Every structure is written in C-alpha cells, then in structure tokens.
Amino acid sequence: MARNIRLWIPNFYYHVVCRGNRREPLYHDEDDYAVFLYILEQTNKKFPFDIASYCLMNNHFHLQMKAKEHPISKIMAIINKRYANYYNSKYELTGHVFEKRFFDKIISDELGMLEVSRYIHLNPVVAGVVDRPEDYYWSSYRFFYPSQVKNTNAVSFLNTEIIFKNYSGTVHDKAASYREFLFKYQDNI
C-alpha cells in the first residue's frame, strides 16, 4: 500500500510528533538530548525552519515548526536520519529508531498556536516527570519562563515571538501572560 503524500503549506506551523520504535527511549542520557538539539541546529542552517516550541521527552519529541523553503517531510527525514545514525552508532544497534513516520497536523490560527505550545510545554508535567514546566530542561519553556527569559539567539531555530506576539508589554510581561495562559487551562489537557 502506497503512503499518502504529505501536505505542506508554506508559512504555516505544524505540530510534529515522532516516537521511538516500540515506544522505547530515544534519549538515554543528556548527551542524546544535546545531540538531537545540535542536529536541529545544523539542519536549520541548510534547510531553514522556525520552531515556536519544542519538548524532547524520553521516548518521543514534539516540535511546533514552520518550514521556510523546504517541505517539513524533507526536513524531518534529514533530522530523523541523522539522529538514527547517531543513536545506532552510539548504542551499537541496527534497524529502526523511530516507530513510524512522524505525525503532523497543521495549526490554522493563533489560538491553535497557543494551545499547541501549551500542550508541548506541559507535556512533562502531565506525564509526571516534573511538577512545573520550568523544571524540565529539554523543553523550550526555559526561554518562555518569566524570571528566566533568555536570549534565544543561542537556539537559532527557536522563535518565541510567534507565541509572545499574542501578548503586550515587555518580554517579561509577555512571558508572565503566557505562563498565566499555560496554567489557566491546564486542567483541560
């Protein structure tokens, strides 16, 4: 049976999710998480994209991403291939690292952008990994947290302004408003 062709609409954000094969861990230690982020950085240099939020969980990852010039399927193929090569080499394995093709869903409006970002940033809390999203290092939330808003130039692919543009005031005011949104609707997740 042939695969369906992926729909890619330039300038729209997508919620992208990819899981480890048989739901096994994709990341066993901090180096694995760091290498994945490095692969995102390197891929972004050649195939530019923006990420509004991300979260790397133990056995899957979430990206809220927009491809600029190339289809998301091409970018994800490169990212997943590079990470699979690293993973299989490091752990002396062969075969599939990822369960199947990545899931993607277009985000069609501003409220959808906020809801997907909230879902991604609260994922470690809902999973019981941490009590607060700011306590989870492998998420973009540290760049959104009011008292710790950092310069995102260190992460070239992250564009927090896509989320912050929905709020007014200073960057700290925007971060505080976003945090309020996160927890106002947390019970709906």
Question: What CATH number has the domain bearing residue 45?
Answer: 3.30.70.1290
pTM of the model: 0.91
Q: Is residue 7 a part of any domain in this protein? A: no
- What pLDDT does residue 33 have? 97
Q: Is residue 56 a part of any domain in this protein? A: yes
The residue range of the domain holding 39 is 13-188
- What pLDDT does residue 99 have? 92
Write the CB contacts of 13 (distance below 8 Å, at least 6 apart in sequence). Answer: 50, 52, 64, 65, 66, 106, 107, 113, 116, 162
Domain count along the chain: 1
Q: Is residue 93 a part of any domain in this protein? A: yes
Q: Is residue 39 a part of any domain in this protein? A: yes
Q: Is residue 163 a part of any domain in this protein? A: yes
Query: Do the Cβ atoms of 41 and 152 come closer than 8 Å?
Result: no
**Rounded to whole angstroms, how far apart are CA atoms 144 and 130?**
17
Q: Which residues of the chain have pLDDT under 50?
A: none
- What pLDDT does residue 186 have? 57
Q: Is residue 1 a part of any domain in this protein? A: no
Q: Is residue 34 a part of any domain in this protein? A: yes
Among 17, 37, 15, residue whose Cα is nearest residue 157: 37
**Rounded to whole angstroms, how far apart are CA atoms 166 and 161?**
9
Q: Is residue 26 a part of any domain in this protein? A: yes
